[in-house]
Structure 1
Amino acid sequence: MTTLSQVAQHAGVTSATVSNVLRQRGKVGEETRARVLAAVEALGYRPHLTARALAEGSAPTLALMVASIANPFYPEFALAAEQAARQHGRFLIVCNTNDDPDIGRAYLDQIAGTLSDGVLVMNAKLRVDDLKMTQRRGAPVVLGMWEKPHEPPGLPCVAVDFHLAGALAARHLIALGHRKIGILFGGGASCIHSERERGFHDALAELGHSDAVVRIMHVHDSVEGGLSAGAEMLADGLVTAVFATNDLPALGMLHAAADLGIKVPQQLSVIGITDIQSARQARPALTTVALPTEQAAAMSIALLLELIANPSLGSPMRTAEAPQLVVRASTAVVPKRRLKRRSD
């Protein structure tokens, strides 16, 4: 690997002059600058970003920590965040914690403040204390798509109104006449999806249909989770609609209905939350409540850069646009007859 010293020797200048040319700082004559750039090109020199970060105490990169890169939502968020970071001349490192807080803490210890100037955290199951410790070490932390705008986390964040997202789903199903609704609660009883479910129940109460939920199942936040719950949720033909707190279990419910010979939306309506690409590609296409993913990603990167430039900002909370109902082919008016399985 070519070194800075070799470039300097080839160009007949000092290493400091090469550094000034590459970073576009200091006063360097045009002839000297051209000679240095020619040497860089001839030798194929590339700056060693890690060494530069350690030497200068700053890095041209930002880190994005996600719970599971296997969840298609996170690549979509990461793409938007990477585009926003690149517009500001930054690189984005994506760190997958695989739902393991120990891996997340290791990333914080090894990357934050060294390889990365700041960290954007997306549901990585890290304790607030761990994130605050990272801040005290000089690496700003931003929570992306915080789900409770009414409860600031004590850390900088970009919030999305997930309570409203759940409420929009409830209002849609009630408007279609559904009064026997099942809920797929993705991620388990203690999951952050609780705000989405609370919004769903609150909207039902406001509409005078608190008793419309007849079945609730806690499932893994995945297509497989919705698929495996389908047989039990739909076994007796009681429910006419299913609300999933995320698109993935909702897509799994579409598969389960197909396996049971239940037609969507003629016999069963299904609605999710997020509006991932797969929701648009499903057949039938999934009705969902779209989140402002791209905007939230861009706002999160912008806030992180603000904190890097001005650490005294404290813990601001910025709020993204409201979620929006997107009606597609998986919901319809309540069926006149109870669901029947193909075997019936």
Structure 2
Amino acid sequence: MPTLNEVAVRAGVTPATVSNVLRNKGRVGEATRQRVLEAIAELGYRPHLPARALAEGRAPTIALMVSSIANPFYPEFALAVENALQRKGRFLIICNTAGDPQTGRAYLDQIAGTLSEGVLVMNANLDFEDLRMTELRGAPVVLCMWERPADPPGLPCVAVDFRLAGELAAQHLLSLGHRRIGAIVGSKVYGIHAARYDGFIDAMRAAGLDGAASPVLYTPDTTQGGYAAARELLKAHPDLTALFTTNDLPALGAMQAAADLGLDVPNRLSVIGITDIQLARESRPALTTVAVPTVEAAELAVELLLELIETSGTTRTANAGARVSRVCVTSSPYLVARASTGPAHDA
């Protein structure tokens, strides 16, 4: 297997220059960079990651911790993270906690700072104190898709205004004449989707309606959870003309429940979700949803984490206060109207 030194000889540069080209660091002229890349291709050189990690004292990888890789949103987010990392010469490790804090803690203990030089956390049900301890051990942490930009978590994060997303979803249903709207929340009462439901309540109140009086059920954030909740709501409140759901998976389940109950979507029942996963575009009818800037959030999270990594080490203590206060807010969610919503049947 060719070595880095052999690449340097072939390109007529120093090993340090080859290393800078591989890591996209340092000042390397374009002509020199091309010579190095050509030498790499000619020799078939591949970096030896364990050796690189040993030499640099850190691995060229980033860990992404998620609560359930079975949720289709997380692979979509992971792909956006991976694309952003590849442009920076880094690799991605995905850690699936299955919503178990002990599993997440084990990942942090075994991976952070050794197999990965930093950690991105996406709704992985981890204790914030464990994440702070991970930072103190030298592996910066960034929370992804934090749902309340106005209420920062005390850790570096990328936030999305999900309260606005809930408000936009409710406003869309109200604009179609719906007044009897049920709500399906894909988390516990004070769980991660609470801000989305708060936005729904805000919009209902602004329209002169008592949003809190609308029937609501809390359910697992799954298609099955949405199916069961929708059946229960629609049987108990047959006069409902629309369902607001806090995520796309429960919304898809709600549409399945409506079909099984003989309720046409959208002529008899409108359904709206939040996020805009690929399945929302492929379902029939296609799901109306409030899209969130997934790719932008992933790129901001990578950018912030790599910045924290670069300022770690000797400058870590001096930058600690600045790091804790870092909150990057994405662009706003926006409505994507499709076929699952229409005018209220009694409007």
2:331 maps to 1:321: yes
Q: Which runs of 4+ in 1 moved over 2 A?
A: 17-25, 44-48, 187-190, 211-214
* Unmatched tracts of structure 1, length 5 or more: 338-344
Question: In 2, are the aligned partners of 1:166 and 1:199 still within 8 Å (CA)?
Answer: yes
Whole-angstrom distance in 1 between the partners of 2:130 and 2:250: 31
For 1:314 and 1:199, locate their aligned partners in 2 and report how far apart those are by CA, in whole Å.
29
2:24 is equivalent to residue 23 of structure 1: no
Q: 1:131 and 2:114 equivalent?
A: no
Q: For 2:306 and 2:217, how far apart are their aligned partners in 1?
A: 41
Distance 1:178 1:24, change over 3 A: closer
**SS in structure 1 opposite 2:205?**
helix
- CA shift digits 1:63-95 (9 cap, x unpaired): 111111000000010111111111111111111
Q: How does 1:166-315 map to 2 (within 5 A)?
A: 166-211=166-211, 213-236=213-236, 237-311=238-312, 312=319, 313-315=322-324
Measure how far apart 1:52 and its partner are.
3.1
Is the 8 Å Cα contact of residues 179 and 213 (structure 1) preserved in structure 2? no
Q: Give, in whole Å, the separation in 2 of the partners of 1:290 and 1:254.
A: 18
Could you tell me which residue of structure 2 aligns to residue 336 of structure 1? 346
Distance 1:267 1:204 in 2: 21
Contact kept in structure 2, 1:113 and 1:138, CA below 8 Å: yes
**Residue-pair matches, total:** 320
Give CA deviations for 1:123-147 in whole Å, capped at 9, x if unaligned.
Answer: 1111111111111111110011110
Residue 189 of structure 2: SS of its match in structure 1?
coil
Normalising to structure 2: TM-score of the pair?
A: 0.85
SS in 1 for 2:339: coil
CA 1:270–1:24 in 2, change beyond 3 Å: closer, same or farther?
Answer: closer
- The answer on whether the counterparts of 1:181 and 1:213 sit within 8 Å (CA) in structure 2 is no
Structure-2 separation of matches of 1:256 and 1:186:
16
Tell me how far 1:327 sits from its aligned partner: 0.7
The alignment yields a C-alpha RMSD, in angstroms, of: 2.7
CA shift in 2, pair 1:120/1:212, >3 Å: closer
What is the TM-score with the length of structure 1 in the denominator?
Answer: 0.85
2 CA distance for matches of 1:211 and 1:133? Answer: 41
Instruction: Quote how far apart the aligned CAs of 1:19 are.
Output: 6.2
Shift of 1:51: 4.2
For the pair shown, the structure with the greater C-alpha radius of gyration is 1
Separation in 1, partners of 2:309, 2:105: 20
1:211 deviates by 4.7
- In the alignment, the residues of structure 1 paired with residue 167 and residue 289 of structure 2 have an alpha-carbon distance, to the nearest angstrom, of 12
Contact 2:85–2:91 under 8 Å retained in 1: yes
